[in-house]
Amino acid sequence: MQPFVFHNPTKIVFGPQMVKKVGKSTAGYGSKALLVYGQSSIKRTGVYDQVTASLQQAGVSWVEHGGVKSNPVLGHVRTGVALAKAEQVDVIVAVGGGSVLDASKSIAAGAKTDGDVWDFFIDQAQVREALPLITVLTLAATGSEMNSGGVVTNEQTKQKFNIGSPLLFPKVSILDPCLTYSVPADYTAYSAVDAISHLIEGYFTSADSATPLQDRFVEGLIKTIIECTEQILDQPDHADARATMMWAATWALNGLSTAGIGVYGFPNHMIEHSLSALYDVAHGAGLSIVMPGWMTYKAQQHPAKFAQFANRVFGCSGGSEQERALYAAEALKQWFRKIGSPVTLAEAKIPEQDIPAIADNATMLAQKWGLNEYNAEVIAAILKHCC
Amino acid sequence: MQPFVFHNPTKIVFGPQMVKKVGKSTAGYGSKALLVYGQSSIKRTGVYDQVTASLQQAGVSWVEHGGVKSNPVLGHVRTGVALAKAEQVDVIVAVGGGSVLDASKSIAAGAKTDGDVWDFFIDQAQVREALPLITVLTLAATGSEMNSGGVVTNEQTKQKFNIGSPLLFPKVSILDPCLTYSVPADYTAYSAVDAISHLIEGYFTSADSATPLQDRFVEGLIKTIIECTEQILDQPDHADARATMMWAATWALNGLSTAGIGVYGFPNHMIEHSLSALYDVAHGAGLSIVMPGWMTYKAQQHPAKFAQFANRVFGCSGGSEQERALYAAEALKQWFRKIGSPVTLAEAKIPEQDIPAIADNATMLAQKWGLNEYNAEVIAAILKHCC
């Protein structure tokens, strides 16, 4: 195990009907909110009405900043920042999935700086202050509800980059699993892929092999996510499966799985971000294409951990270590296919001949994240495995 | 899964030599500390010198309140409260294991009330304010470093009771695994028992059977604790095993394993507290006596979960569900015996004829904790299994 600091101050309020607590939770941080949400779905499902009724009851007024899209874009974040400043809001209330939460974190930071919010993404400025953030989650996937990071795409430069600061942990996150019952099958699958991706990044890239606690944590989470995703696809309002999936996705990226594992990377995210930036692929869909390819590449270098994964998650005990290691990639790929998430570039209508351009785009993030092993050639080789 | 609120704001600073950070961590909360510790061991091991040097360097002065004993007593807590008030300290620095931390939490609460600190334990008062608490952990066992509870024995009334409040979460806990290298074999074993006990209480007493995430979390933790305890007993300065044990024990009682499982109880602790209160048995030693007995009693009522435990933790797959369930109790008992922790009342020199008196004492806590299933007769029957 390696040294670490773990500090996750987000308060989680979890359970059916907890959406009604948003007003009271928000009132603790101010009387005027910026209400951030996505497309029209929260109005269709009634969540919008529940949230605004609760705010009203708690004496919180609000201005609205709807229209966050999946793979949220910088332009819309900047509009939100301007609105938050002009209206002098005290607090941000984010109602949606990871995209809405990530955009809201960016606005929370942008509203408290005189500079441009994008500076936080390109390491030209550090977040020194931020508006408090309350979230109401409607999609169990990204873990943004209990961490301090966010991802936004600069639509001009085609950079899907990240912001991060301890000041960006939500103060309170309301996790009401009922709000996810209406998530359709495709996004349920992408969400499972996303949560799994968060877990395997650290699991497979940590240089420390003495992390039995974190290993079992990750393996147990992935087994559980696999189980409950299948239950949800079979029965979308399966209360226990939706609840378990919601909490599992939160755990998958709240710092628990990586505390103590030392240096690790996000190579799958690095490559996927280029797919999203260039083709606007849903994040989870991009990941289910990239992950099996990356795992096939990496399993050959460090087979032991991949073989352990194949054994503990998929019950594979036969064959050589190398064979089991490659089976880890194959088994996950087959499971992604089973739940209906794409596993090849072609399935997402991304032409194979674009691989060099994708690899070029991905090197920007590889450099930003210090993933020195990944030059354009290596990334292209990995993408070849995704065909 | 059941509704819950999870909010654990303690900052963990983990790793070798992190003890040197205590001064800086403390200085953020004031310039005068009450330094609470146990017997002479921290002076012998050099930890006292490291802590005081760090405080001095950070410009923090301190007054000392040493002498906390294992199973900390109310009289000594009251002296600490009086000292904290008289010296008008800003912050408490606790250096030790669970006993020191629990005593320190009690002092933190007591220092901010005009009433008697014991009132918090007997539900006659609620904690409304508390001094901030910084901890330096020297024993991986109780989880007190990342939770909001504490246990103290009233030596007059023979009540080993608990205090709890969100205000009692340590602000910062420094977990330096090197400080645990000198923990002797017996206390290493008791610590493992204690951490396991924290995990099985919720695991076996939750009425909700749809908690696959929490189940796997608990099972993975226990397997890991078993593994690294054996490594430590084999090699006391095994860096990875000591580190893993330290973080595992923290996870075992920081609210993660029970969030979402609904109502659960601490029946093993309820009975063990009487052993400690009456015979001053080390807490872990008392638990290794009680747990197999309680599990044998309970496995007959609810065999499914016990059978799952036997299968996933001890690899037991043969026999009937009832047989596997009973094997769970037996396998744990044998493992406790293997690591040198007592498994019968006689081994702790507790006379079998005292069972009625122990059961009587335990009913006080059964009532306080609402464990209505446990009257003196039932507790006596469980204790019979511990002979």
B161, β-bridge pairs = B152
Give the mean pLDDT of A284-289: 97
pLDDT in tens, A341-384: 999 999 999 999 999 999 999 999 999 999 999 999 999 999 99
**Shortest CB distance from A216 goes to which of B6, B18, B220?**
B220
In angstroms, the CA A318 to CA B191 distance is: 37
Q: What's the number of CA atoms in the CB half-sphere (13 Å) around residue B250?
A: 30
Output DSSP code: residue A73: B
Q: How far does CA A244 lie from the centroid of its chain?
A: 17
Q: Which residues of A touch B247 (CB under 8 A)?
A: 1, 213, 259-260
Q: Is residue A40 very low, low, confident or very high in pLDDT (cuts 50, 70, 90)?
A: confident
Residue B367 has a pLDDT of 95
pLDDT in tens, A210-222: 999 999 999 999 9
In angstroms, the CA B132 to CA B29 distance is: 7
In our burial notation (b when 16+ CB lie closer than 10 A, e otherwise), range B77-106 reads: bbebbebbbebebbbbbbbbbbbbbbbbbb
pTM over 0.90: yes
- List Cβ neighbours of A334 (8 Å cut-off, separation of 6 or more): none
Residue B331 C-alpha, separation from nearest chain A C-alpha, in angstroms: 21
Query: Searching chain B, which residue's CA lies closest to the CA of residue A221?
Result: B213
Residue A361 C-alpha, separation from nearest chain B C-alpha, in angstroms: 37
Average pLDDT score, chain A: 97
* Residue A102 tokens, joined: 């990530």
In angstroms, the CA A307 to CA A326 distance is: 8
The secondary structure of chain A in percent helix, strand, coil, rounded to multiples of 5, reads 55, 10, 35
Query: Searching chain A, which residue's CA lies closest to the CA of residue B3?
Result: A15
In angstroms, the CA B72 to CA A263 distance is: 40
- Decide if A274 contacts A362 (C-beta within 8 A): yes
End-to-end C-alpha distance for chain B, whole angstroms: 37
Residue A31 has a pLDDT of 98
β-sheet with B61-65: strand ranges across = A4-6, B11-14, B172-175, B133-137, B91-96, B32-37, B61-65
Ranges in chain B, pLDDT < 70: none
pLDDT in tens, A193-211: 999 999 999 999 999 989 9
The full length of chain A comes to: 387
pLDDT in tens, B294-320: 999 999 999 999 999 999 999 999 999
Q: Which residues of B touch A12 (CB under 8 A)?
A: 4-7, 259
Q: Which residues of B touch A10 (CB under 8 A)?
A: 7
pLDDT in tens, A266-281: 999 999 999 999 999 9
**ipTM tops 0.90:** yes
Query: Searching chain B, which residue's CA lies closest to the CA of residue A243?
Result: B1
Residue B350 has a pLDDT of 97
CA distances from A285 to A180, A198, A245, A280, B313 (A): 18, 14, 18, 10, 35
Does the distance separating the beta carbons of A6 and B12 come in below 8 Å?
Answer: yes
* Residue A303 pLDDT greater than 90, yes or no: yes
Right CATH number for B185-384 from 1.20.1090.10, 3.50.50.60, 3.40.50.620, 3.30.420.270?
A: 1.20.1090.10
Give the other-Cβ count within 10 Å of A344's Cβ: 17
Give the other-Cβ count within 10 Å of B385's Cβ: 17
Query: Do B11-179 and B185-384 come out as alike in CATH topology?
Result: no
Give the phi and the psi of residue A95 in degrees, each rounded to 5: -120, 105
CATH class of the B11-179 domain in this structure: alpha beta
* Residue A83 pLDDT greater than 90, yes or no: yes
List chain A domain ranges: 11-179, 185-384
